[in-house]
Copies of this chain bind each other. A is one copy, B any other.
Amino acid sequence: MSQIAYKHPPQRTIARLSVYRRILAQDLEPSVDFIHSHQLASRAGVSAAQVRRDLMQVGCLGNPRRGYPVRQLLDCLITFLSGPECQKLVLVGVGNLGQALLSYFMGGRSHLSIVAAFDADAGKAGRVVHGCRCHPLQDLKKVLHDEQAFLAVLCIPAPGAQAAADTLVEAGVRGIVNFAGIPLSVPSDVYVENVDLTTSLEKVAFFAREKVQTASIA
């Protein structure tokens, strides 16, 4: 037990902070120096109270008259979310989805950058996809070590996912975005974020139907 109980930030808060950051960085005219919680809220699609509560976590204070200083808030968010240095990622599985993710993430983003891709198919090794070099899976440990990358995006089909995750963990990876659609078993000090595309579709199918029903009840 530590002296001062460390209160880690809610998952949802981190997700929203990521949205706020993008709004501040991209959607805002450069002439805007200050922004109010309700302005940020309406752009992010959440409540003003939620924005203020979330920003408490990052410790950047607003001014009751003018709101939050945009430039300073953005710096706080970047440091808070990604740390002072650029975080390096690797992508495992250069199939249809993997290639789409490469095209999606290879542009810009100074604080998060995909530095290498891997595929079990030896035919893909050596190719450069959307500006990212593709390596054979066997080189994973070596490349991760050389690049000092500790985060991975896993987008290979379910059957091979656990084995790939094991290799990643063994190579020192601390966090995985898992697109495989099955849960991964990893040590408790490795963070896994599951993105399940099938589930997203099924949720929409369910709640869209449900809305129609509840609308007719109410």
A positions within 8 Å CB-CB of B = 1-2, 6, 8, 11, 14-15, 18-19, 21-22, 27, 43-45, 81-83, 87, 89, 95-97, 99-101, 103-105, 112, 150-151, 153, 174-177, 181-185, 189-193, 195-212, 214-215, 217-218
Shortest CB-to-CB span from A216 to chain B, Å, is 10
Contacts of A43 in B (CB 8 A): 183
Kindly list 12 other residue pairs between chains A and B, CB separation below 8 angstroms, not including A14-B206, A82-B206, A151-B208.
Answer: A1-B218, A2-B217, A14-B202, A15-B196, A43-B183, A112-B201, A151-B205, A153-B201, A174-B209, A175-B205, A189-B211, A189-B212
| Structural contact, B189 and A215, CB atoms closer than 8 A | yes
Is the Cβ of A205 less than 8 Å from the Cβ of B87?
yes
The CB with the most chain B CB atoms within 10 A, among A27, A96, A151, is that of A96
- Check A96 against B87 for contact (C-beta < 8 Å): no
Which B residues touch A174, using CB under 8 A?
A: 208-209, 211-212
B191 touching A81 by the CB < 8 A rule? no
Contact present for B195 and A177 (CB under 8 Å):
no
Chain B min CB distance to A167 (Å): 17
